[in-house]
A and B are shown apart, each in its own frame.
Chain A
């Protein structure tokens, strides 16, 4: 845990990582909120090439009338959950609204598919260009190879156990030869090398123009509606990552952590000098 005794201040994050982090924060904020708006236009997900109201959906967020008024529900593969107040049916300014995602997560707050689509494309352009530059820069300066891919020795059972134990003890900040612990590496590599590329690629397949030119991309995901479902699932996994990320920043000491992402310098615990 963060202690009051101060250890040395060490360089932790390079400039490209810091710039990308904050650019992404803005872009992903826009993308998640506007993505929720776009989902609200047709809050049903399918597998395969086609899918519309008469076709079976694996996920539905909707509302139905009941004796006590409208009830919101989520149906995942046949299992139904009442989500009144949060999803499907919610209150806005004393009024009952019936939409999948509520106004406090969507961009814009008042439903507008066209505005949501514009914000989503703005976010996508920022995210896509920044991600492209960062990815190739990080291959070039060997950030991915050196910092993100786990070392062989980190994968030995003893080291895996030690890292899990450190996380359980909330002991996050460490010195040593590696910038990131094994669990950190696995989650960052999973996001940067799997989740984000899936989001970009499935996002591109939402374009009928791209699908005409690059049909193989749609084939990878098993059709237009499968790609739409995978886009949503990948976004959900990214949100889960962001939640854990924010919780860990708070547990590891928010001042030190946020400073390290602004100035690049991280303070190590006392007695943990290198």
Chain B
């Protein structure tokens, strides 16, 4: 009986955490771990409607205080100048694979048809906050710029840097053209604050918070994000290995 116990203890020891991590670092398991978000995305899209809308709440449901996350104040001189000028001379650059590249002022963006939605923001860390967002649907801007049929993703270039690395994000055309995907210039009935991403931030309501790029300076239609930044499709995807598809 003693020897059997020893064997069982041995089996137990093999299962302990360091062993598990060593297995996780072998190439097949590493590749498997990095292919799961694609599998999960395809599986979820198989059982969910493409156009399904994230729930919209009422003003009574708003979080009393919407937590600020990530950058609170971009550090560049350019951003500081725009901030001082109340973003009066700031322009949103729309480019990449579009037939009509655009430079849109904040007042023109505000003059475009608006969408206001009260939605829940789910951070990858686990917390949630409900806020009201006002902005222009990204699909309108893509149509206005006459985006190419070959474009597969939309890239958002941002004004905030982490060290020398600028923040950026990408979403595919399904999320980019979703009716609730907006470039928001207003929050909770006010002009979007600097801490929450002024002058413009992305809302991609069916994905986790790190997709919702703040301080959006440029929007580009692209075919692939392999050559952009670290090649994984977003700042946190490059820096920390977060999944590109942030639907869960």
**Chain A residues engaging chain B, CB cutoff 8 angstroms:** 29-30, 33, 38-39, 41-42, 44, 49-55, 103-104, 106-109, 112-115, 117-119, 121-122, 125, 206-215, 218, 224-225, 228, 254-255, 258
Q: How far is the CB of A202 from chain B (nearest CB, A)?
A: 12
- B61 near A49 with CB under 8 A, answer yes
Chain B stretch 39-74: residues in CB contact (< 8 A) with chain A: 39-40, 44, 47-49, 52-55, 57, 61, 63-67
Contact with A along B220-248 (1 / 0, CB 8 A): 00000000000000001000111100011
Which chain A residue has the least Cβ–Cβ distance from B127?
Answer: A52
- B39 near A125 with CB under 8 A, answer yes
Interface majority SS (helix, strand, loop, mixed), chain A = helix
Q: How far is the CB of B48 from chain A (nearest CB, A)?
A: 3
Asked whether any CB of chain A lies closer than 8 Å to the CB of B120, the reply is: yes
Asked whether any CB of chain A lies closer than 8 Å to the CB of B109, the reply is: no
Q: How far is the CA of A176 from the CA of B242 in the complex (A)?
A: 54
Asked whether any CB of chain A lies closer than 8 Å to the CB of B86, the reply is: no
Q: Please give 8 more A-B residue pairs, beta carbons under 8 A apart, in addition to A122-B32, A207-B248, A208-B54.
A: A29-B20, A49-B120, A50-B128, A55-B64, A107-B17, A109-B17, A121-B37, A213-B49
Q: How far is the CA of A17 from the CA of B126 in the complex (A)?
A: 34
Asked whether any CB of chain A lies closer than 8 Å to the CB of B187, the reply is: no
Give the B interface residue count (CB, 8 A). 53
| Chain B positions within 8 Å of A119 at CB level | 24, 33
- B48 near A53 with CB under 8 A, answer no
- A108 near B24 with CB under 8 A, answer yes
Q: How far is the CA of A10 from the CA of B32 in the complex (A)?
A: 40
Asked whether any CB of chain A lies closer than 8 Å to the CB of B27, the reply is: no
Q: How far is the CB of B36 from chain A (nearest CB, A)?
A: 5
Q: How far is the CA of A235 from the CA of B33 in the complex (A)?
A: 22
- B242 near A114 with CB under 8 A, answer yes
Asked whether any CB of chain A lies closer than 8 Å to the CB of B102, the reply is: no
Asked whether any CB of chain A lies closer than 8 Å to the CB of B84, the reply is: no
Tell me which of A51, A52, A107, A122 has the highest count of chain B C-beta atoms within 10 A of its own C-beta: A52
Q: How far is the CB of B248 from chain A (nearest CB, A)?
A: 4
Given the interface pairs A41-B124, A41-B125, A53-B127, the reply to whether A209 lies near B247 with Cβ below 8 Å is: yes
- 8 of the cross-chain contacts (CB-CB < 8 Å) are A29-B20, A33-B20, A41-B124, A49-B130, A50-B130, A52-B127, A109-B21, A207-B248
| Chain A positions within 8 Å of B130 at CB level | 49-50
- B242 near A50 with CB under 8 A, answer no
Give the interface segment out of B1-9, B144-152, B154-162. Answer: B1-9
Say which residue of A39, A121, A224 sits within 8 Å of B120 (CB atoms): A224
- B17 near A114 with CB under 8 A, answer no
Given the interface pairs A118-B36, A213-B52, the reply to whether A104 lies near B17 with Cβ below 8 Å is: yes
| Chain B positions within 8 Å of A210 at CB level | 44, 48, 247-248
Q: How far is the CA of A210 from the CA of B97 in the complex (A)?
A: 31
- A254 near B5 with CB under 8 A, answer yes
| Chain A positions within 8 Å of B122 at CB level | 206, 208, 224
Which chain B residue has the least Cβ–Cβ distance from A26?
Answer: B15
| Chain B positions within 8 Å of A107 at CB level | 17, 20-21
Given the interface pairs A42-B123, A114-B243, the reply to whether A213 lies near B36 with Cβ below 8 Å is: no
| Chain A positions within 8 Å of B126 at CB level | 38-39, 41-42, 228
Tell me which of A50, A106, A121 has the highest count of chain B C-beta atoms within 10 A of its own C-beta: A50
Q: How far is the CB of B180 from chain A (nearest CB, A)?
A: 8
- A49 near B18 with CB under 8 A, answer no
- B124 near A113 with CB under 8 A, answer yes
Q: How far is the CB of A272 from chain B (nearest CB, A)?
A: 20
- A33 near B48 with CB under 8 A, answer no
| Chain B positions within 8 Å of A103 at CB level | 17
Which chain B residue has the least Cβ–Cβ distance from A225?
Answer: B128
Asked whether any CB of chain A lies closer than 8 Å to the CB of B106, the reply is: no
Asked whether any CB of chain A lies closer than 8 Å to the CB of B208, the reply is: yes
